[in-house]
Structure 1
Amino acid sequence: MLNRYPLWKYLILIVILLIGLLYALPNLYGEDPAIQITSTSKNIVNKNVLTNIQDILKQNNIQSKSFIFGSEDILIRFINTDLQLKAQEVISRLLGKNYIVALNLAPATPKWLAMLSANPMKLGLDLRGGVHFLMKVDMDAVVNKLQENTLDTLRQRLTTQGIHYINLQKMNHCEVAVHFRDKLDCDKFTKYLLSFPSDMVFRKHSDSFLIIRASDQNIQTAREYALQQNIHILRNRVTQLGLADTLVQRQGDESIIVELPGIQDTARAKEILGATATLEFRLVNPLTNSHGVIPNNSELKKTRDGQVVVLYKKVILTGNHIIDSTYSTNEYNEPEVNISLDNEGGNIMSSFTKNHIGKLIATLFIEYRERGTSNMNTHFSLEKHDEIINLAHIQSSFGNYFRISGINYPKEARQLSLLLRAGALIAPIQIVEERIIGPSLASQNIKQGIEACICGLFASITFMIVRYKIFGLAATCALLANLILIVASMSILPGATLTMPGIAGIVLTLVVAVDANVLINERIKEELYNQHSIQKAIHIGYKAAFSSILDANITTLIKVIILYVVGSGSIKGFAITTGIGIATSMLTSLIGTRAIINLIYGGKRIHKLSI
């Protein structure tokens, strides 16, 4: 019989709608204004701090919704932003500079929904507020590192070939000068270099003097690799911070954009993102002559206690081989970091320690710190700081797993383990631009977006009901179901983030979604004019319009896919919501409205349609 759906189809539609309602529901609860309190490396957050905060808030008549005491922080929820701001001022005055008191937003989703993994949509920077960073990669450090590699390679090749030279010297523009004893050695090495692929370019400065540097292609490859690896490592770091709704993308040849929605703790974010901490393992050189002259292959470094130690310049292993690091305490309750190496790093460490049992090995901690302020038009103001954090005798061979002690504070050990686990930056970065979008501006954007959605819905619903009566009412029900399914899909999908352009995509989808029902309704009218029976006109209307609706949605989907692949940031946000809207509108416009019409008219003797 025409225009009848079996019971199981109705049940599936009801289940889909109920699931959609369940996962769209958390978006009605919003977020609570909150304050997050974290400590600096020399302080810890304990219950005494919590008690002092509770007392000071009570004294100032500042009411809070709840206190959540974590392992490393305290989260306090408030009813409104006025209380939040007042509490921040009071708590900051109480704790001083030893603690970071940051504004934050905490989801207000009930526990029973959270247990079902029903969470609100992830909002972008323009809707939730947060921090925007523009970071510049220090390409000078990349070129300097390449110059060091060139120097080591040349020294190794000269030694391998048995060619005598007076000295190797670094020069400007990534160049290395080689001074030979005579013209014969210079010519011999020149001939040897010509047998290699063009990884280096060289020119003669005199009969016994060569100027060598890495090729332009190698320099460009090194710069590109540093930028891409830094982007990858920054993404790992924001994941380690527990942030999933972030944007990390390239801008130009030297810069990276990082957006952290909902984050007001800018000090903590900058501390993690901008940190360039890494480790080097080097052998201690116990041999210095009586005059205290340091050999060319060694250099002076200091421990945290100020002790001067002579280390070989050659690095045994760097932090690049670390695949995992965890924080723990030893039997003396001292903080330490447990290190896991990859296979290559494990083999290097095993081979080295096996051949140097009884000797002293140093763990060198390296980081870059800001020397002063800087902007996009000025030169980098980062300087290198290093110190020995651990000295240990090699008592036996060890490979993929070992531990580092000598760290003063537990939080410092935790942060070092986090940075090593996320990866060491290939080149130092500096935050040259920082923008904070406050919650009030974000709330205004959300309000305007919701108003746009309501206006679009109202206009579409009014037109459809006036024009198509009961069929228009069915289309209206489908339109509301479509909105619920879009919101639920955005809440479920892990990579989906709603932005202002995303709201524009939803509005566009809702307004255009009724096109399918317009095609169907007009085709039903046409069939009625052609003297077909009412039941047959409904059947043909839905069947004949299907191919046109499908073609239109496929072509739109192709454009959406191109926007997502080629675009970035807000363009991707628009593409995601539009793509989801296309899929849900196909379900609601074709199957949803058909189910409603079949319930009203299916299998009945009808003399007139309300269309």
Structure 2
Amino acid sequence: LWKYLLVVAVLLVGLVYALPNLYPSDPSIQISAVRGAEPVSQAFVESLEKTLVDKGITPKESELDEVKNQVLMRFDNTEVQLEAQDILKESLGRQYLTALNLAPATPGWLRALNAKPMYLGLDLRGGVHFLMEVDMVTAKDNALKRYEDEFRDFLREANVDYLGVSREGDTLITKFKTEEARAEGRKILANQYRTEILLGDKEVATTANLIANISPDNLQAIEKFALKQNITTLRKRVNELGVAEPIIQQQGLNRIVVQLPGVQDTGKAKKLLGATATLEFRLVDDGGNDPQQAAQSGRAPLGTKLYYERNGSPILLQRKIMLTGEYITDARSGFDSQSNRPNVSINLDGKGAARFSKVTGANIQKPMATVFIETQFEEYEVNGEKKYKPVKTEEVINVATIQDQLSRSFQITGLDSPDEARELALLLRAGALAAPVYIVEERTVGPNLGQENIDSGFMSILIGFSLVLIFMLAYYRVFGLVANLALAMNVVIIFAVMSMLQF
């Protein structure tokens, strides 16, 4: 008896988790508030519905998610969905992001059991395909900037008498007063970099110069790292943002293929892939310079850089960076226990912790600024064609006095909302792009083509399955009926298992 009960139980579970595949997805629009916008509410949803109804469009259903601060509106077909998006974009402006989506139409009682339809790939569900190229020139440029800063640090720590480090093209030039100082500097840098840097001498009138170039092997390693790091970053970002079954893989020496099933809005996809957010920590300038005067003239004093706080006030920070986001290993959003304001708890790797500990220990009781750096894609039109350009925003979100020596873990505050804290933590966890990426090829696979593939596949299964059933019944009679039932159960269980794999 228990064997029969087990078969029935397995079949019932299989039926429940296979059922969601019978419900097609609804074309939908997801409206999300961006930083600085009013949170969504029921009144906001009603105003959106009224705006659409006035234009002759009635949403199939509207769902409010106050936790994620977003609204999902379902529509009957893709044509209505696209028309509604144009209306909502014009009505909402830049304060809210409208993204096309496909929302499962699974009934509530099935969703309560966590029963979902199986994930479909790009060929069946539709979506976007990008071929992206990594900017290797910028990757090399970033490496040269890093070496330039490190040269200064190593020579200063060793008390070598040098005049300065400058850059000419792909060459770093370190100037020394004497031949003896140059020889000492060469020895220090050669010990630090060994095969990474090629060193040579250059005589110039009154100074003894040391020239440095990145070695070919090291340059190749830098380019490989930039490509691998960007693939890892894109994969983490897409996974954390919930795109189902993306494909992100290397193509050639400097290109990345990205496929995002279910994403219909290429603009949304570009923003998802290209948006970056990171942090820099800098000391506030203590040289007595006037930030207002620098803001009016548009020129910052030597050794400083002009920034603005979120309230619009100018502030001068030291040009030298104390710490960047590349050393961050983990970031979690939360709330400050004293002020109950949103914050982000940050953990650093060993190298970053040692560097931050050293620099904060040497600057206790001095003000330190947290600079929030964000890059987003801005949409514009050229001859009626939509294009996107990166726009970089840098602002000071927090200025605090260093009370003690900081190390591996600390918190930052000054964020506008819990949503901004969550988004910043997500992007910090995913990491920054090692070098910019540019889209060189873009293809959109429409859901209609995917639906045609699904219909063709379903029809082939139906015809093949029917022919097998007829043959089995005609040839084996009763035993054929039993075999047909087993075959049908097998199909149901396969659908159920494929749907359950996404848990």
- Per-residue CA deviation, residues 155-205 of structure 1 (Å, 9 max, x unaligned), is 3443454443333221323x3122333444434444555556322222333
- How many residue pairs get aligned? The number is 480
The change in CA–CA distance for 1:453 and 1:352 in structure 2 (over 3 A counts) is same
- Per-residue CA deviation, residues 11-60 of structure 1 (Å, 9 max, x unaligned), is 43333333222211110112122222223434233333322222234445
Which one-letter code corresponds to 1:338 in the other structure? Answer: V
For residues 89 and 187 of structure 2, the distance between their equivalents in structure 1, rounded to whole angstroms, comes to 69
What SS class does the counterpart of residue 451 from structure 1 fall into?
A: helix
Which one-letter code corresponds to 2:174 in the other structure? Answer: V
For residues 371 and 117 of structure 1, the distance between their equivalents in structure 2, rounded to whole angstroms, comes to 37
CA contact (8 A) 1:283 1:316 kept: no
Residue 178 of structure 1 pairs with residue 174 of structure 2: yes
CA contact (8 A) 2:335 2:343 kept: yes
- Larger radius of gyration between Structure 1 and Structure 2: 1
Q: CA deviation at 1:475?
A: 4.3
The change in CA–CA distance for 1:350 and 1:182 in structure 2 (over 3 A counts) is closer
For residues 368 and 460 of structure 1, the distance between their equivalents in structure 2, rounded to whole angstroms, comes to 58
Q: CA deviation at 1:440?
A: 1.7
For residues 315 and 94 of structure 2, the distance between their equivalents in structure 1, rounded to whole angstroms, comes to 32
Q: Which residue in the other structure is 1:299 paired with?
A: 304
Residue 325 of structure 1 pairs with residue 332 of structure 2: yes
Residue 21 of structure 1 pairs with residue 18 of structure 2: no
Q: Which residue in the other structure is 1:479 paired with?
A: 487
Residue 280 of structure 1 pairs with residue 280 of structure 2: yes
Q: Which residue in the other structure is 1:315 paired with?
A: 322
Q: Which has the higher helix share?
A: 1
Q: CA deviation at 1:68?
A: 0.8
Q: Which residue in the other structure is 1:69 paired with?
A: 64
Which one-letter code corresponds to 2:366 in the other structure? Answer: K
The change in CA–CA distance for 1:404 and 1:425 in structure 2 (over 3 A counts) is farther
- Per-residue CA deviation, residues 512-559 of structure 1 (Å, 9 max, x unaligned), is xxxxxxxxxxxxxxxxxxxxxxxxxxxxxxxxxxxxxxxxxxxxxxxx
For residues 75 and 91 of structure 2, the distance between their equivalents in structure 1, rounded to whole angstroms, comes to 18
CA contact (8 A) 1:284 1:312 kept: no
For residues 429 and 389 of structure 1, the distance between their equivalents in structure 2, rounded to whole angstroms, comes to 27
Which one-letter code corresponds to 2:164 in the other structure? Answer: N
For residues 252 and 75 of structure 1, the distance between their equivalents in structure 2, rounded to whole angstroms, comes to 39
**Matching of residues 44-123 of structure 1 within 5 Å:** 44=38, 45-60=40-55, 62-71=57-66, 72-123=69-120
Gaps of 5+ in 1: 1-6, 374-379, 496-611
The change in CA–CA distance for 1:487 and 1:134 in structure 2 (over 3 A counts) is same
For residues 444 and 141 of structure 2, the distance between their equivalents in structure 1, rounded to whole angstroms, comes to 34
Residue 341 of structure 1 pairs with residue 338 of structure 2: no
**Matching of residues 160-559 of structure 1 within 5 Å:** 160-173=157-170, 175-191=171-187, 197-206=194-203, 208-287=208-287, 298-304=303-309, 305=312, 307-318=314-325, 320-321=327-328, 323-326=330-333, 328=335, 336-342=342-348, 344=350, 345=352, 348-349=355-356, 352-368=359-375, 386-399=394-407, 400-405=409-414, 407=415, 412-461=420-469, 473-494=481-502
For residues 158 and 462 of structure 1, the distance between their equivalents in structure 2, rounded to whole angstroms, comes to 86
The change in CA–CA distance for 1:359 and 1:444 in structure 2 (over 3 A counts) is same
- Per-residue CA deviation, residues 461-510 of structure 1 (Å, 9 max, x unaligned), is 45555666655555444433332222112101128xxxxxxxxxxxxxxx
Q: CA deviation at 1:381?
A: 7.9
CA contact (8 A) 1:133 1:259 kept: yes
CA contact (8 A) 2:334 2:342 kept: yes
What SS class does the counterpart of residue 122 from structure 1 fall into?
A: coil
What SS class does the counterpart of residue 238 from structure 2 fall into?
A: helix
What SS class does the counterpart of residue 136 from structure 1 fall into?
A: strand
The change in CA–CA distance for 1:203 and 1:383 in structure 2 (over 3 A counts) is farther
What SS class does the counterpart of residue 154 from structure 1 fall into?
A: helix
CA contact (8 A) 1:42 1:411 kept: no
CA contact (8 A) 2:35 2:416 kept: no
Gaps of 5+ in 2: 381-387
After superposition, the CA RMSD in angstroms is 3.7
For residues 438 and 345 of structure 2, the distance between their equivalents in structure 1, rounded to whole angstroms, comes to 27
The change in CA–CA distance for 1:47 and 1:158 in structure 2 (over 3 A counts) is same
Q: CA deviation at 1:347?
A: 5.9
CA contact (8 A) 1:35 1:104 kept: yes
Q: Which has the higher strand share?
A: 2
Q: Which residue in the other structure is 2:32 paired with?
A: 38
For residues 488 and 477 of structure 1, the distance between their equivalents in structure 2, rounded to whole angstroms, comes to 17
For residues 426 and 349 of structure 1, the distance between their equivalents in structure 2, rounded to whole angstroms, comes to 21
For residues 338 and 159 of structure 2, the distance between their equivalents in structure 1, rounded to whole angstroms, comes to 51
What SS class does the counterpart of residue 368 from structure 2 fall into?
A: strand
CA contact (8 A) 2:132 2:257 kept: yes
The change in CA–CA distance for 1:463 and 1:113 in structure 2 (over 3 A counts) is same
What SS class does the counterpart of residue 248 from structure 1 fall into?
A: strand
The change in CA–CA distance for 1:119 and 1:185 in structure 2 (over 3 A counts) is same
Structure 2-normalised TM-score? 0.82
Q: CA deviation at 1:281?
A: 0.6
CA contact (8 A) 2:238 2:246 kept: yes
What SS class does the counterpart of residue 69 from structure 1 fall into?
A: strand
For residues 146 and 339 of structure 2, the distance between their equivalents in structure 1, rounded to whole angstroms, comes to 41
For residues 385 and 90 of structure 1, the distance between their equivalents in structure 2, rounded to whole angstroms, comes to 28
Structure 1-normalised TM-score? 0.69
Which one-letter code corresponds to 1:151 in the other structure? Answer: E
**Matching of residues 581-592 of structure 1 within 5 Å:** none
Identity of aligned residues (%): 38
Q: CA deviation at 1:354?
A: 4.3
